[in-house]
Chain A
Amino acid sequence: MVQGIGGLTGETLFATLGQIVPLIIVVVIFILALEFALYNLLSKVFKLQNALAYTLLSPAAVAILVFMIYPLLFNVLLAFSDLKRDTFGCYSPVSVATCQLDHLYGLDYAIDNFTKVFFRIRDGQIVDWGRLLTTAGSTFPALLGRTVLWTFFNVIFHFSGGLALALILNQKIRLKGIYRSLIVIPWALPGVITFLTWKQEFHAQYGFVNILLGGFGIAPISWLDNPIYAFVAIVFVNVWLGIPFYMVMLLGGLQSISPEYYEAAQMDGAGAWQQFRFITMPLLRPILIPAVTLDVIWTFNKLDLIVVMTNGGPQEGTNILVSALYNAAFGTSATQRLGFASAFSIIIFVILFIFAIVWITTSGGLKEIYEK
């Protein structure tokens, strides 16, 4: 009997559900039993006052430990290794390849991995910028520059587009609810589906974008064949995708601003621009700062869109740091430089961490929260 050949048939679906549903039930019962036992332990044995709170927090704490802390620590450990395809034999418990390494983890590997992110070393000497992928343009400064550019354009357009839409939808207009629902659609759709759809829409011959441009007498553009056009295409799609997030956030903020401020300003003779500048923007600030922070981090780390639409090509010209990292570790290259990729990921983490600290501190966006 053959159980399946990869495709999702009804039979496969039911068989899978048949396996998963009982497993979920068992897991839920197991967790409830554990929670109950933990509560009894904390309240009756240790006689803790907040036993219920600790009990309810424990699943989340365990999940964070298992799915975030452990992978993070493991990633750091990998940065101290020389794990790549050629050394699989040393790290794999089942490999039969001969291990040429005299140790598996060490500071020397970490120094080598971190150095290679920036420089190309030959005979112990730095000879050039290191290539993170295969082309001469895949150096760290080039990728960082492109990532900053990518993040800048996206965040600017997300913010301005989202704010414009929020301001429009904050007015008294008919069918507001329908517009709001339509605008949120890009955010609600599964990413992979929208990316694949957009990829087709940017096709030189059959894509909607060129057909539309053709209507204005513009010759077809090979969007995904040219690094600059491809970059424009992915920025466009990510802007389209990110605007609803800002719109929802800012619309909520706008609706919470009391109309009395505007009425008072109007009585004082303030114009629309002055009202926007001195009332709307300052009062949106507590919402805007966390939104921009999150958007910068999400955009900086936006991997799925790039992998699906261009996979970093053509000529590796649409790679940003994270997609270059993904390709270095798991891409078409068979080298699987996991030690190097781990060091690379730590550097990206540090960059974002520093940005978040500096941005949040200097903007004072979370000041009110801290002061409370």
Chain B
Amino acid sequence: MKIKFVVLMVVALLALGSLSAVVAQDAMGPYTLVMWSQDGDTNNAVIAGLFEQWAAEFAPGSTLEIVQKETETLRNDLQTAGLAGSGLPDFFLGPNDAIGPLSDAGLLQPLDELFDMSMYPFNLGAAQIAGVTLGVPTNAGNHLMLMYNKSLVETAPDTWADLIAAANAVEEADPEIQGFAYNLNEPFWFLPFVHGFGGSTFDEEGNFSMDTEAWVNAYQFVHDLKFVEEVVPAECDYNCASDAFKAGTTAIILNGDWAIGEYLDTEVSPALGPDNLGVAPWPAYEDGNRPQPFTAGKFISIPVTTADAQLEGTVAFVTWLTTDAAAVEVHALGTGRLPAIAGIPVEDPILQASQAALETGVGMPANPALRCMWDSVRPNLEGVMSDALDAATAASESQISAELCLEG
């Protein structure tokens, strides 16, 4: 009896001990975290909702302040705060091309020891510099693809000739509707054309390789879309294309996976929604090759100033956000994006089409020198798109100014 009692007591004590250990492991915080996000408000609201769910379960009383910043503002503000030595957020979400400059500036924490990197099999390379991981992917993609309004264009055009014909047909049927539009002067939209002609930013030795036939062909092709085929508007930026597409006054656009979420939402995009939104890879050139968009994803990075409890809370939340299957389904699939972890089935036909478009893409390196390419292409692309610069000069000038940019 006595022995039984002692055994029972020991078992009870062990059970209590392990329970308290579990409680100690699960109940964390509370944390007060600040996140800077380059994502749109719709997607940030999803992260906000997921944080509430995570906090209720694992760290009651925790708060997350999300501050939305545009791509360039995010990078500039991080650099400025880094220079001042204070004011950096606990973590930030953005595209991988900010990682290069911020890594150069020594403002990012290596994440290899903080996260289980084997969980992210698809696009981790886009956030690695010299083998060090500086960002954890929240999704795979960030790629541009063809999007069309099925009520205006029944099937996705497979070639550029098909696209031009379809766009012209739409405009003939209703002159108030623009057949095709995209962000004409933005280099991110131009690079897929270069890749489709077999070009790239760097050669095999890592030097700029922009004064090539592929670049000239790409400049000429976008020029001809505007001035020969006259299939794009005289002027069009991101909002012009996206807003008109949402309103149903543009039939076909080129846009990224980040926009799928709002295009599926009929409150935001009354002319679209699941019934009318069509997604496909870029149309093929005459030779059968397709423009290849840059692919990477969105990544969460942690500044060097995040430490102690802040770091603990950040790592715990980000790990959960990016690896918990249910959270990934809500955050990635729920906002129309593709998961960055394995084992999440993609069943939605629109996301399957997005995945097909992703597979045609080219991985975007986190090479800091890429910024010099973006900066050098912009004014030359503007010149080509205003018919003030010929394609060969634009390619040659892009090369020169990218090299000068590297010289500093």
Tell whether, in the assembled complex, residue B66 and residue A97 are in contact, meaning their CB atoms are under 8 Å apart. Answer: no
With A1-B55, A222-B235, A334-B371 as contacts: A92 and B82 at CB distance below 8 Å: yes
Minimal beta-carbon separation of A199 from chain B (angstroms): 10
CB of A92 within 8 A of CB of B105, answer yes
Return chain B residues, CB-CB under 8 Å to A18: none
Which of A185-193, A276-284, A309-317 interfaces with chain B?
A: A309-317
In the complex, identify which listed stretch (B260-268, B273-281, B342-350, B379-387) lies at the interface while the others stay far away.
B379-387
Distance in Å: Cβ of A355 to nearest Cβ of chain B: 29
In the bound complex, do residue B51 and residue A314 qualify as a contact, i.e. CB atoms below 8 Å apart? no
Interface string of B377-408 (1 = CB under 8 A from A): 01110110110110000000100110011011
Nearest chain B residue, comparing its CB with the CB of A88:
B105
The reply to whether B401 and A131 form a contact with Cβ atoms under 8 Å apart is yes
How far, in Å, is A250 (CB) from chain B's closest CB?
38
B319 CB contacts on chain A under 8 angstroms: none
Q: Is A301 an interface residue (CB 8 A)?
A: no
Interface contact A225-B105, CB-CB below 8 Å: no
Neighbouring A residues of B76 by C-beta, 8 Å: 330, 336
Give CA–CA (A3, B185) in the complex, Å. Answer: 36
Q: Does A302 have its Cβ within 8 Å of any Cβ on chain B? A: no
Check if B82 sits within 8 Å of A88, measured CB to CB: yes
B289 within 8 A of A: no
Q: For B178, give the chain A residue with the smallest CB separation.
A: A205
Give the distance in Å from the alpha carbon of A57 to the alpha carbon of B82 in the complex.
36
Structural contact, A94 and B107, CB atoms closer than 8 A = yes
Q: Which residues in window 322-352 of A have CB below 8 A to B?
A: 330-337
In-complex Cβ contact of B386 among A3, A6, A226, A331 (8 A): A226
Q: Give residues 97-113 of B contacting A (CB, 8 Å).
A: 101, 104-107
Interface residues of B in 69-120 (CB under 8 A from A): 72, 75-76, 79, 82-83, 85-86, 88, 101, 104-107
A335 to B75 CA separation, bound complex (whole angstroms): 11
* A122 CB to nearest chain B CB (Å): 8
Interface centre among B376, B382, B397 (most CB of A within 10 A): B382
Are B51 and A95 in contact (CB-based, < 8 A)? no
Instruction: Decide yes or no: A2 and B63 within 8 Å by CB, A85-B79, A334-B75 being known contacts.
Output: yes
B401 adjacent to A332 (CB under 8 Å): no
Q: How many A-B residue pairs have CB under 8 A?
A: 155
B52 within 8 A of A: yes
Instruction: Decide yes or no whether B160 CB sits under 8 A from chain A.
Output: no
With CB as the reference atom, state the residue of chain A lying closest to B75. Answer: A334
8 Å CB contacts to B: which residues of A73-106?
83-86, 88-89, 91-98
Is the CB–CB distance between B386 and A314 below 8 Å? yes
**Measured between alpha carbons, how far is A332 from B379 in the docked complex, in Å?**
12
Establish whether residues B105 and A85, one from each chain, have CB atoms under 8 Å apart when the complex forms.
yes
Q: Which one of A98, A222, A225, A330 has the greatest number of beta carbons of chain B within 10 Å?
A: A225
Closest to B66 in A: A5
Nearest opposing residue in chain A for B100, CB measure: A334
Q: Does A183 contact B (CB under 8 A)?
A: no
Q: Are A1 and B63 in contact (CB-based, < 8 A)?
A: yes
CA distance A94 to B109 in the complex (A): 11
Interface residue tally for chain B (C-beta within 8 Å) = 59
Chain A residue with minimal CB distance to B376? Answer: A134
Of the candidates A83, A96, A314, which one forms a contact with B382 in the assembled complex, judged by CB atoms under 8 Å apart?
Answer: A314
Q: Which residue of A lies closest to B394 (CB)?
A: A315
- Are A96 and B106 within 8 A (Cβ)? yes
Cβ contact within 8 Å between B79 and A336: yes
Q: Cβ of B51 and Cβ of A2 under 8 Å apart? A: yes
**Contact present for A4 and B408 (CB under 8 Å):** no
Which residues from 343 to 360 on chain B have a C-beta closer than 8 Å to any C-beta of chain A? none
- Assess the A334–B368 pair: CB atoms within 8 A: yes
Chain B neighbourhood of A224, CB < 8 A: 235
Our pick among B85, B233, B374 for the contact of A205 (Cβ within 8 Å) is B233
Interface pair B41/A86, CB less than 8 Å apart? no
Query: In the assembly, what is the distance between CA of A192 and CA of B109, in Å?
Result: 37
Q: Is the CB of B388 within 8 A of A92?
A: no
Residue of A7, A88, A133, A227 contacting most chain B CB atoms (<10 Å):
A88
Q: Are A5 and B235 in contact (CB under 8 A)?
A: no
Partner pick for B234 among A2, A3, A134, A220, CB 8 A cutoff: A220
Interface membership of A204, Cβ < 8 A: yes
In this complex, what residue of A is CB-closest to B81?
A94
Asked whether A2 lies within 8 Å of B52 as measured between CB atoms, the reply is yes
- A92 in contact with B63 given A136-B397, A314-B379 (CB within 8 Å): no
Q: Can you list 25 residue pairs at the A/B interface with Cβ under 8 Å?
A: A1-B52, A1-B61, A1-B62, A2-B52, A3-B64, A6-B41, A6-B66, A89-B106, A94-B107, A94-B304, A94-B305, A95-B106, A96-B106, A131-B401, A134-B376, A204-B233, A204-B235, A314-B379, A314-B382, A314-B383, A315-B383, A332-B72, A334-B101, A334-B368, A335-B371
Binding site for B on A (CB under 8 A): 1-7, 83-86, 88-89, 91-98, 120, 122, 131, 133-136, 203-205, 220, 222, 224-227, 313-316, 330-337
> 10 shortest A-B CB distances, which residue pairs?
A97-B106, A6-B68, A95-B106, A93-B85, A314-B382, A88-B105, A204-B234, A334-B371, A134-B401, A2-B48
Known: A94-B305, A225-B385, A313-B379. 4 other contacts (CB 8 A): A222-B386, A225-B234, A227-B386, A314-B385
